Structure 1
Amino acid sequence: MTAGPAGADLVVVGAGVVGAACAYFASLAGLRVIVVERGAIASGTSSAGEGNLLVSDKEAGPELDLALYSQRTWREDLAEHAGRWEFEAKGGLVVAATEGSLASLRDLNVQQRAAGVEVHDVGHAELPDYEPHVSRDLRGAAYYPQDAQVQPMLAVAHLLRLARDMGARVSTRTEVSGLLRSGDRVTGVRTTTGDIRAGAVLNAAGTWAGEVADLAGVPVPVRPRRGFVLVTEPMPPRTIRHKVYAAEYVGDVASSDAALQTSPVVEGTDSGTILIGASRERVGFDRTVSVPAISTLAAKAVALFPMLRQVRLMRTYHGFRPYCPDHLPVIGPDPRAPGLWHACGHEGAGIGLAAGTGKLIAQGLAGKRPDLDLAPFAPDRFSDPHQGAEEVSP
């Protein structure tokens, strides 16, 4: 396929949740959109996550601001479609096993409240009211009513379907092999099925976003960070009522350590299965199943919910989060390659941040001032092409 000069206003590279949200909001803004995806829709990170929409795991700063904005976008702009992707305002419970971790959690809560997060202190005696099966050895917790959940693959599928209803086109099994240029300006993409000309190209390629940026000769150091999720046999409804995780998870999310890190994250689903995460390690795109990661996650989940010792594990799955070395996503136009925009590097927060990212990108593309300052997420903050390189070989 070869589109003419007026082929599209925007080509979105990547049909994961971020690309889908950008395609939806850009189409809503009246732009002619074409989405190209090297595999199937939601075949990358979006198919390997739990569907978190969290504010609880973020310290005060630009990412938390984006998370709060995105929460409002999911809950307000997309409210009429919430049932399509099983939006569940289940709330999050962050638990502390020691007095030291509880004190650190309370300090974090003070910062978060000042930034607009709703959070409630939960004492030791109150824990069973929130989670009847949680360990009685915990010292206390914090409850976050804003934390929510979606089914990520449904979110991708329906956002793209809604975009198509507004005129967008989606082309799967279409790999971008180069960028079209007019002088320094990016004017479209060269793909395995032909050239597509467009007014702008959006790099929403997830863990492969660095490769797409390389095609334009600009460094965007997005790297894969592997994670595993365990799935149990179905349990009675509301066996686990909230998304429950250990306070140490916040530190693991913010860590740049390449080695294996695990902190228990446990939650129930409508089908009765219980999802157990979360692990992080930088091993390139190595898809080998890690027995140490799985066994450690299982042991820590049992410590959090002792009744899980009697529950059978049904399966595991894993994927790769698009990791940036400064733990902030890359969002906005790239002045180093005019016409190229980025929406990538969200790591494990991509589902939650996708709606807000899509709305902000669409505002910018339509010539409007974005609701949030995008300076902290600027693509050209990376000047060293080797910044963020993997310390661990694939």
Structure 2
Amino acid sequence: MPITRRRLLGFFAGAATAVGVPSVWISNMKTYEGPVSDHFDGMRFFDPDGVPPKSLAEVLRWQFGTDRKRASWPDWVPNAHSDTPPPRVSGDKVRLSFVGHVSWLIQTRDLNILVDPVWSTRASPVSWAGPHRHNDPGVAFDALPKIDVVLVSHGHYDHLDIATLSKLSEKFSPRVITPLGNDITMRDADAAIKAEAFDWEDRVDLGNGIAVTLVPTRHWSARGLFDRNKALWASFVLETPAGKLYIVCDSGYGEGTHFRRVAEQHGPLRLAILPIGAYEPRWFMKDQHMNPADAVKAFADCGAEQALAHHHGTFQLTDEAIDAPVNALADALKEAKIPPERFCALKPGQVYEV
């Protein structure tokens, strides 16, 4: 396939989202400075149990290789569901509304929490190229209740969406909890975003008896040409009155070390939210994104009672078909002899209650 100017522009914008190969900008943003630790060498963060991100040469091989097989997605898939959340959810119940991709609204104990909120049309550093939405958010932005807390897992564009965070800041002024370094990205773009940055294993009191702990995950981060792994990435363990929720927004499986460690250190878990999409081709994606078979293994490793799937069906970041993750999840659950109702793949606008 010839490398046209249009394909190159789309590649840079899209790869910034899918694999952190940056946009055409040369980023001069400020980056994190702090003490050396077991996962920060003084310049960049790293995962002691992971692997480095792919090289630019490998990205180009994936994007422009003659053997690439990229499935075609339908341009638009109308939602069968749409949620209008209540203003608050009181008591010990937890209400989870799936917005789409990895965006969730979690309501409990009169606290409203958003996870990796993306309401933008594109998950991209630019508005004219890069992965675009294939369905509406399952909750319209104007239908959101007052948001108290936002959790942002890392800096890739399909997770850290400045435009959405700015709108939330203007309307609700929520606390934004994020791993180290991502607060700099947010405040550099919009000083009004109330970002608070934390390290792995930091526990943050959110009020009303709810707390969140940032835990290691097998991934990485980048937004510009020279900031690869200069901000940290994390998963979340959210303590609720109905039990602990393990929220994994992006992760490879590796040897399952991270998932077993969370079970040991933070279990028992009532619910795990696990990514199942953006996994093809496997030679390129396996170290940073789980496929459904990996997600089923992660579910078993972490020991959660129940699992929900996300990170599929909204933005085409990689090569598999739009319905491939859900179909492969059903096959993996059958192979593992796990009842399908224990690991559900909601559609945007559907609600799950604990």
Structure of greater Rg: 1
Q: TM-score, normalised by structure 2?
A: 0.27
Q: TM-score, normalised by structure 1?
A: 0.25
Decide which structure has greater helix share: 1
Decide which structure has greater strand share: 1
